[in-house]
Amino acid sequence: MSELTQQSCEACSADAPKVTDEEKQTLGKDVPEWQVVELDGEEQLQRVFKLKNFAQAQAFTNKVGDLAEAENHHPAILLEYGKVTVRWWTHKIGGLHKNDYIMAARTDAAYEEMQ
């Protein structure tokens, strides 16, 4: 399990720095299943999770929602039959912050708990 799962998100302001390319490489090693995608000019972390059916996908979506509420850091979540797509990014800075990698690692841990 990644050490990122043990870290908390820090309060982020609009002038907080985005992660550097070097930080993306380093942090990305802890969440290798996640891809950096660009949507509407903003970099985001994205992963598609496969589950057995809609009920499991919904339960996983609720777990991710609970994680998000606990840290006051909210992703985009697409719930489908047997599949959940999660995207993390920091809205205030229009891109990626270390918080997003922390939450990606926690999302992975929640998924592993369901397997």
Q: What is the CATH number of the domain that holds 87?
A: 3.30.1360.20
Instruction: Give the position of tokens 């598609």.
Output: 48
Domain annotation covers residue 96: yes
Domain annotation covers residue 27: yes
Q: Which amino acid is at 45?
A: L
Domain annotation covers residue 4: no
Residue 8 has pLDDT above 90, yes or no: no
Domain annotation covers residue 11: no
pLDDT at 1: 56
Domain annotation covers residue 8: no
* CA distances for 6 relative to 3, 28, 36, 71, angstroms: 6, 16, 22, 13
pLDDT band for position 13 (50/70/90)?
confident
Token readout for 48 is 């598609």
User: Which residue range is the domain that position 42 belongs to?
Assistant: 20-114
Domain annotation covers residue 80: yes
Mean pLDDT (whole number) for 101-113: 97
* CA distances for 41 relative to 6, 55, 91, 94, angstroms: 30, 34, 12, 8
Using one digit for the tens of pLDDT, what is the confidence trace for 41-98? 999 999 999 999 999 999 999 999 999 999 999 999 999 999 999 999 999 999 999 9
pLDDT band for position 11 (50/70/90)?
confident
Domain annotation covers residue 13: no
Residue 12 has pLDDT above 90, yes or no: no
Number of structural domains the chain divides into: 1
Domain annotation covers residue 40: yes
